[in-house]
Chains A and B, each alone.
Chain A
Amino acid sequence: MSDIFFPLAVFFAAVFTNNILLTNYLGMCSFLSVSKELETSAGLGIAVTFVMAVTTALNWLVYEFVLVPFQLEYLRFIVFIIVIAAFVQLIEMIIERYSEGLYFALGIFLPLITVNCAILGASLFMVIREYTFMTSFFFGLGSGLGWFLAILAMAGIRQRLRTAKIPAGLEGPGISLVIAGFMAMAFMGFNGMITIS
């Protein structure tokens, strides 16, 4: 595959075949707890997509230009976490100040995202898989969109579940986990379309 299209391939792979939530099971806690309503899950999904795309790129820069030259790669966990936390905090302050609409739609989810492991996961995968800057950005964007897609689907299903008859023992988290499993299996159908390692 030519180098120009590689970032694009990674982007689609991150959305479908290598969905960070459904294949790596990252970001499960907010996926399960905030997926009761379509509207709120959409808000959270957009926030995750945005933060993931930007922090993956940011962390790439920090990694390549600070950690690698000083041979401090082993410090990436702690550095990535600080960068993500600071970025999320800054963004929250900025949108609270300048856009009320955006604050109501996204702002209240931002503190939840700081502790979303999928965000840190994306930054770490980017290092393991030795992506370039462009690829990393598209990988982050794709992973975010993939997460968005998964939580949206989950919320849609759970809204319908409210009127469905569920065996008593499976109510609540039980049925949600079973559904997450089915969704993961369904996404396996995309396998072979594109593969990234």
Chain B
Amino acid sequence: MIATLLVSVLIITAIAVLLALLMVIADATVGNYGTSKITINGDKVLEVQGGQPLLKALNGEGVFIPSACGGRGSCGLCKVKVVEGGGNYLPTELPWISAEEKAQQVRLSCQFKVKNDIAIQIPEELFSVKQFTTKVESLRNLTHDIKEVRLKLIEPATIEMKAGQFIQFQVPEYELTDEPVYRAYSMASVPSDVGHIELEIRLVPNGICTTYVHKHLKEGDTVIVNGPYGDFFLRNTERPIICIAGGSGMAPIKSILLDMADKGSARKARYFFGARSARDLFLLEEMQALESKMADFKFIPALSEPQPEDNWKGETGLITDVVRRMAEDAPEGEAYLCGSPGMIDACIKVLRELGMPEERIYYDKFS
């Protein structure tokens, strides 16, 4: 009895070991593609282990390509131009690649495997994009529905960003999502505070990330973010600037203004902030304090529906009307807008009517 038992265990083990050994040998021979060189944008060369997906290979070398599904080929975001050594498209890439992208040799980097030396092209800004492990340092209610989240960077410990850029916030699995998802938020912190990131997040009913931040996130929690991304940042000119924001559109504008104060910029700046009533206003003291710190800055909050109990003495009316009345620098200035698509489109129209050329109007639309 014992002998039969022993024999059966031994045989099964032997078969399993044999097959496992076979797999290990195969992995080291057939599956071993040696090292391959990845040339990025014609100058930077990385040496990576061959046979792995491009997304993973780049990630391992600290080049972070935005991807929402984590390399499962289900989001179609991690597109990269492979200009040399690309070979044919895999059937798993094709659903995500349009005919136009095919002509430009755009590949889905989580499916495309590096098997030989290749040359790729990625936007220059992605070099500074990293994944950060952070800890929630503080949470603060700015209004009844906007929360300020201050994150302390753990690994890497510092971020190099331009004021106005955004990061992607990773929402872990929880009751509203069964896989990690990413949502983009503008950073409200000043770039010189390299060890922290601040976000201003408005609660959207049933929003996956906003619900997570408002209802589940606690101080001390770990948060994964990646970034910085985006071309919404202060242009290096001497023109007077007009900033217009609504709601959590405050975030990137605050970052830009703090950065200007930080660097002692002499540029003239006007900041129009639109809200419905007093309960939607926030950070008033901080913004007013900037008026004395900056060379020529005025903060102009405006309420469209001030309530009697608000005792509102500032500007009233739709933000577009206030801008039309007060933005005297429009023809020679530049504008930075952040808010809902409706607000931005209306503001662009007003600014153009006031004589500002469209190419000097920069904006960050919430979608």
Contact = CB atoms under 8 A, between A and B. Distances in A.
Contacts of B88: 100, 104
B15 A66 contact: yes
Interface stretch (A28-36, A87-95, A136-144, A155-163): A87-95
A4 interface: no
Interface string B10-53: 01100110010011001100110100000000000000000000
A100 B87 contact: yes
Interface string A68-82: 001110010011001
Contacts of B30: 90, 93-94, 97
B87 A66 contact: no
Interface of A: 62, 66-67, 70-72, 75, 78-79, 82-83, 86, 89-90, 93-94, 97, 100, 104, 108
Contacts, number: 48
Contact of A78 (B12, B26, B31, B92): B12
Given A70-B7, A82-B16, A93 B26 contact: yes
Nearest to A97: B30
B90 A83 contact: no
Nearest to B91: A108
Instruction: Give 3 nearest A-B pairs by CB, closest first.
Output: A86-B19, A93-B30, A97-B30
Contacts of B11: 66-67, 70, 72, 75
B22 A70 contact: no
Given A72-B8, A89-B23, A82 B15 contact: yes
B231 to A, nearest CB: 38
A78 B11 CA distance: 12
Contacts of A75: 8, 11-12
B90 A79 contact: no
A96 to B, nearest CB: 8
Contacts of A71: 4
A32 to B, nearest CB: 20
B354 to A, nearest CB: 56
A108 B90 contact: yes
A87 to B, nearest CB: 9
Q: Is the interface of B mostly helix, strand, loop or mixed?
A: helix
A93 B30 CA distance: 7
8 contacts: A62-B15, A66-B11, A70-B11, A75-B12, A79-B12, A82-B16, A89-B23, A97-B33
A83 B8 contact: no
A66 to B, nearest CB: 7
Contacts of A104: 88, 90-91
A97 B31 CA distance: 7
A75 B12 CA distance: 8
Contacts of B91: 104, 108
Contact of A86 (B12, B22, B27, B87): B22
A79 B16 CA distance: 9
B19 A83 contact: yes
Contacts of B22: 86, 90
Nearest to B31: A93
B23 A90 contact: yes
B4 to A, nearest CB: 8
A70 B31 contact: no
Interface string B75-94: 00000000000011011100
A33 B38 CA distance: 38
A108 B30 CA distance: 17
A70 B92 contact: no
B300 to A, nearest CB: 59
Contacts of A70: 7-8, 11
A108 B91 CA distance: 8
Contacts of B27: 93
B26 A90 contact: yes
A78 B90 CA distance: 33
A65 to B, nearest CB: 11
Contacts of B12: 72, 75, 78-79
A108 B92 contact: yes
Nearest to B32: A97
Nearest to A85: B19
Interface centre among B8, B15, B31, B88 (most CB of A within 10 A): B15
